Structures are given as structure tokens and as C-alpha cells.
């Protein structure tokens, strides 16, 4: 799954996704958490892309006001076209969630040890997502998103059976292409990421508290017996 992530390389977003404009409110976060307003990349009708801020946790447009339980932060790739909440979004409301890396927890000796997972070459990742807009308390549209997950690769399976879909760079344009409306075509892009392009290491449990938001959260913790090596 994916429940926390890092987007620190905000100055790289423009070149990485060929953005015309970067919002002034864009700033790094080392502990992005559900319900926060975070940057998401979406396709434009003219074929370009733009960055928008959306709430993490999908709020479907048909939900009744106050139904906070209907705000999934993740959606399983294998059942996207079966679930009413997601299948209508796949043809035209796909997005990319830019991240430097994400956190996952491993049960160890009665506690949960957090790990930071990131790209071996230091490049930004684009996670596959879906978004929707629902009416806010005063009728204004509220944009929200969910991150798609798939089966974990061999490297991450000791931590969790699921992992976010990290799109291959060559597949990102197709995922954002609003002219591509065939769900089966884009469904083929939702694959586990190669093990040899990932590295991970244990980090401080300070990441467990969403109020903590600093670069120290992704620094390697002291190695302890039984911890998984990256």
C-alpha cells in the first residue's frame, strides 16, 4: 500500500513533467499524509500537463456530504474496472502523483519499523493515480485523488504485500493522455516496479507522527539486528 510519501524535489517538477507553470504554494514535504492538499499532475485537453493541488483520499462526486469514510487513499489495480468508485475514472481522470519516495512499515519483534523506499538513481517517481471532483460544503468543487497499488515486487514483499504503481518514464505520457480512453490499454501499465531500480533503508519512527516534517525523516536509522537491508 502507500500511506505516507515524500515530495522534496519540488524545483525538479517543471523540467521532469514539462510544466508551463509551478504554483507558488508548492513546497517540499517529507511526510505527506492522507487528507492533506498535495500536488498532482494531470493531463490538459490540449495535450499538455499541469500541476493541481488535491486532497489525498478520493471523495467520489456521488458521496453524501459528511461521508468521510468514503475517502480511500489507495485503489487496487486488479479491481479498478470492477469497483464502481474507480471504474468510471479510469477512461479520463487519471493522474500522476510525483514523489521522491514513500514509507512502508515492517512488523518486527512486536513493533513496526518504518522504511524509506526511493529510486536508486535519485530521480523523481510518478505514481499512478485517479482523481475526482465532488461538491464542497458551499457547492465549490473539491478535487481529490487516490494512489493505485499493485502486488509488491520481491524487494518490498518482506515489508508489505502491496506497493504503489510506479509508472515507467516511457509510460507516463500515455497514462496522462486524455485522448486514450480505453481502460484496458492503460490497465496494462499498472505493473510492479523492477527490484533493481529501488533502494530502501530503515528510518526513525518519528515519521509515525504526521506533525514531524523534516529531511531527518528519510535519513537512515541505526542498523539493528533483524532489520531489512536495502
C-alpha cell at 73: 487513499
**What contacts 24+ positions apart, CB below 8 Å, involve 15-23?**
16/98, 16/123, 16/124, 17/41, 17/49, 17/51, 17/96, 17/98, 17/126, 17/172, 18/48, 18/49, 19/49, 19/50, 19/51, 20/48, 20/50, 21/50, 21/51, 22/51, 23/51, 23/53
How many Cβ atoms sit within 10 Å of the Cβ of residue 143? 19
Spatial separation of the C-alpha atoms in residues 87 and 171, rounded to whole Å: 20
Spatial separation of the C-alpha atoms in residues 200 and 104, rounded to whole Å: 10
| Catalytic-residue membership of 25 | no
Q: What is the distance, to the nearest Å, from the Cα of residue 33 to the centroid of all Cα atoms in its chain? A: 10
Q: Which of 2, 12, 199, 222 is catalytic?
A: 2
How many Cβ atoms sit within 10 Å of the Cβ of residue 224? 10
C-alpha cell at 5: 510519501
Q: Which of 104, 161, 172, 174 is catalytic?
A: 104
**Nearest Cα residue to 2 out of 200, 139, 147:** 147
Q: Which residues are paired to 144 by β-bridges?
A: 55, 132
| Catalytic-residue membership of 187 | no
Active site residue ranges? 2, 104
Amino acid at each position: 500500500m502507500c500511506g505516507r510519501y515524500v515530495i522534496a524535489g519540488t524545483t525538479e517538477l517543471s523540467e521532469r513533467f514539462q510544466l508551463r507553470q509551478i504554483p507558488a504554494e508548492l513546497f517540499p514535504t517529507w511526510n505527506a499524509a492522507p487528507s492533506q492538499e498535495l500536488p498532482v499532475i494531470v493531463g490538459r485537453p490540449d495535450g499538455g500537463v499541469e500541476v493541481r493541488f488535491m486532497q489525498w483520499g478520493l471523495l467520489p462526486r456521488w458521496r453524501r456530504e459528511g461521508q468521510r469514510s468514503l475517502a480511500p487513499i489507495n485503489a487496487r489495480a486488479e479491481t479498478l474496472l470492477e469497483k464502481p468508485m474507480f471504474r468510471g475514472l479510469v477512461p479520463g481522470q487519471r493522474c500522476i502523483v510525483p514523489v521522491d519516495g514513500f514509507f512502508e512499515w515492517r512488523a518486527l519483534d512486536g513493533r513496526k519499523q518504518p522504511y524509506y523506499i526511493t529510486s536508486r538513481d535519485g530521480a523523481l517517481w510518478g505514481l499512478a493515480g485517479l482523481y475526482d471532483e465532488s461538491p464542497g460544503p458551499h457547492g465549490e468543487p473539491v478535487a481529490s485523488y487516490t494512489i493505485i497499488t499493485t502486488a509488491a515486487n520481491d524487494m518490498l514483499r518482506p515489508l508489505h504485500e502491496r506497493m504503489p504503481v510506479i509508472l515507467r518514464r516511457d509510460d507516463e505520457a500515455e497514462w496522462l493522455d486524455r485522448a486514450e480512453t480505453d481502460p484496458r490499454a492503460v490497465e496494462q501499465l499498472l505493473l510492479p516496479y523492477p527490484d533493481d531500480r529501488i533502494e530502501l533503508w530503515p528510518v526513525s519512527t518519528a515519521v509515525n507522527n504526521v506533525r514531524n516534517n523534516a529531511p531527518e525523516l528519510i535519513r537512515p536509522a541505526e542498523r539493528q539486528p533483524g532489520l531489512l537491508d536495502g
